[in-house]
Amino acid sequence: MDESDYWGRLEYRVCHELAGLSHIVGRLYWCDGFVPDQYILDGPSPCILGRAWLVIGSNYDELWAFTLLLNRSVLSVEEIDWSALLPADDVTRWLTVDRKRKQLILEPSVAVPDKAPPTLGVKFSGMDRPGGRAF
């Protein structure tokens, strides 16, 4: 999988995850695309920063910020294993939705099986999926 294929697949994967949120407000959102802006590939917290279009219902869209946390540092974009960054359909808890800040945080390396019980001590706002995080 190359980078351009990854962003399109991630869009659909985020839509699937949002649809699984237990709170009705979360299920109204869907993702209409990602625009990566900044690649921070080295250091202690490698990530990709950018913008994501989130649509509420069927006709109101907003531009949100996103942070895609990489599981390791790399020297160049060409070294990124894009397929490893796409969460499987049967995992969850890799997406944080912050409605107040209009931000998505994607951390594929922390995904767990979808039927796993909620982690003790994790603070949710009531919009969480038995897995995904929303604030």
pLDDT in tens, the chain (135 residues): 999 999 999 999 999 998 887 665 556 788 999 999 999 999 899 999 999 999 987 778 899 999 999 999 999 999 999 999 999 999 999 999 998 999 999 999 999 998 745 544 333 343 444 445 554
CA angle at 12 for the pair 11 and 16, rounded to the nearest 5°: 120
Tokens of residue 24, six digits = 């009705």
b/e burial code for range 18-54 (CB count within 10 A of at least 16 → b): bebbeeeebebbbbeebebeebebeeeebbbebbbeb
The residues spanned by each domain of the chain are 3-134
CA angle at 54 for the pair 87 and 73, rounded to the nearest 5°: 40
